[in-house]
Structure 1
Amino acid sequence: MLDNAVLAILEKFGERYEIVVDPDNALLYKQGQKKDFLNILAAEEIYSNAKKGERHTSAALKKVFGTDDVFQIAQLILNEGELQLTTEQKRKMHEEKRKRVVALLMQECIDPRTGAPHTQMRIEQALEEAKVHVDNFKSAEEQITDIIKKLIYVIPIKMEKVTVAVKVPAAYAQKAYGTLRSQTVRKEEWAANGDLIMLIEISPGLQGAFYDRLNKLTGGEVQTKLIGK
């Protein structure tokens, strides 16, 4: 094995299938960021025990996978199996996933006492206090509900959308229409004078950016009002 290579492992029908891969390219491929399989395999072999150099026979591979093509089997192992990560990869992945979780909590949740989103610092402190484990192999979206269930014991927090009434003058209505429709529209109405009136559902943490965008599109002439949750 190469010094910097790692294993990808698949267990199938009671047998173990291992490939030796470049850690960075293999991770990019498994995450869908690398589409081709170039420069991934460090050794063009399918092992039963890579450390001991024990390989599967061609006949054994054909029996299980229907082929003995190393690249076809290796892709399946990497897609369906477990990729061993380096210490640095684990650290970096954890940092990135934790940042995404914090950003999502700020975007989607509010303090029910005030109706405002929590600050980044408060959410990070709450994650520590609640001893929340962030799973590196699940998306932030998949974990967010379970994380909130733990956070409610240390801070008041609730996932909720807010409703905003928006009125855009006729002169800017077409220009702003796409931005408005990018959110959840509860009601849309065109006034006799051409003004556009909408009720928009939006994540609390996106309000600031949403208002800024509308103000730029309308020269500051848009009218908005937070009307409820």
Structure 2
Amino acid sequence: MISLDEAVTARLESHGERFEVLVDPDAALAIKRGEFDGELEDVIAAEDVFEDASSGDRPPETALEEVFGTTDPLEIIPEVITRGEIQITADQRREMQEQKRRRLINIIARNGINPQQNDTPHPPERIERALEEAGFTVDPMEPAQSQVDDALEALRPVIPIRFEEMTIAVQLPAEYAGSGQAKVREFGDLEREEWQSDGSWVGVVTFPAGMQNDFYELANEVSSGEADTRVVKDKGDLDTR
């Protein structure tokens, strides 16, 4: 369960009765869209249905039976969310908006590159300033991922940016290959790998282009700076330099 401070109220009015439940805001939106695949008990603040959540008053069981055909809160809660309205305070709205803004900036920073500067990543701070300059407003009631296209459209007149994946071949010397390759393969999608006759390991990894600096840092970290890397245009090419 979540704390009351984290929860918003979902409210349904039907048959002259009011039904309220307390739920995580993002989970409530996912349930309303039919996209929730988690455990309901993990995203609610109370396994209960209220007439007035602020006072703790509960509706009569006869009303629950009439409207929902059951008195089981875990069956009723999704119905209230799906059929009702999500109530948020001004403070909750501001907090949700800030959380979505941070997620959006992170998504763009991880995937976006600057095509005018050798496809280098844009730092999150630059993306944040550009969004402000563009006057882009984050919708607190929409997932950050679904706002990416609109944000990019707003950003392009302000900064050169495009989304792209990149593929890098990395070779780890034999003394670092055993433990190092396990961390490298987890960084992105491992396209190919080969163990060389000298005990070194070569892998080709694809990941969002905005994460290339993080990849180079990882490769250096697991090899004490002795890794060889090269950007791969053809994923069938395993040679490094």
1:154 partnered with 2:121: no
Instruction: Tell whether the 8 Å contact from 1:164 to 1:225 is kept in structure 2 after alignment.
Output: yes
Deviations 1:3-41 (A, max 9, x none): x997422367x98743275xxxx3379467962756576
Once residues 89 and 152 of structure 2 are traced to their aligned partners in structure 1, the CA distance between those partners, rounded to angstroms, is: 30
Please give the residue correspondences for 1:55-94 in structure 2 after superposition, counting only pairs within 5 Å: 58-69=61-72, 72-74=75-77, 76-78=79-81, 81-94=84-97
Deviations 1:164-208 (A, max 9, x none): 121111222221222222212233222222221122212233222
| Unaligned ranges ≥5, structure 1 | none
1:203 partnered with 2:208: yes
1:218 partnered with 2:223: yes
Query: SS of the counterpart of 1:186?
Result: strand
Instruction: Tell whether the 8 Å contact from 2:109 to 2:121 is kept in structure 1 after alignment.
Output: yes
Q: Do the aligned partners of residues 174 and 142 (structure 1) sit closer, same or farther apart at CA in structure 2, a change above 3 Å counting? A: farther
1:181 partnered with 2:185: yes
Match of 2:12 among 10, 20, 41: 10
Instruction: Tell whether the 8 Å contact from 2:164 to 2:208 is kept in structure 1 after alignment.
Output: yes
1:103 partnered with 2:106: yes
Instruction: Tell whether the 8 Å contact from 2:17 to 2:59 is kept in structure 1 after alignment.
Output: no
Query: SS of the counterpart of 2:120?
Result: coil
Identity value in percent: 33
Output the aligned Cα RMSD.
3.6
Once residues 98 and 36 of structure 1 are traced to their aligned partners in structure 2, the CA distance between those partners, rounded to angstroms, is: 21
Instruction: Tell whether the 8 Å contact from 1:190 to 1:197 is kept in structure 2 after alignment.
Output: yes
Q: Which amino acid aligns with 2:92?
A: Q
Q: Do the aligned partners of residues 107 and 16 (structure 1) sit closer, same or farther apart at CA in structure 2, a change above 3 Å counting? A: farther
Q: Do the aligned partners of residues 57 and 148 (structure 1) sit closer, same or farther apart at CA in structure 2, a change above 3 Å counting? A: same
Instruction: Tell whether the 8 Å contact from 1:168 to 1:222 is kept in structure 2 after alignment.
Output: yes
Match of 2:149 in 1: 145
Scaled by the length of structure 2, the TM-score of the pair is 0.71
Equivalent pairs, count = 215
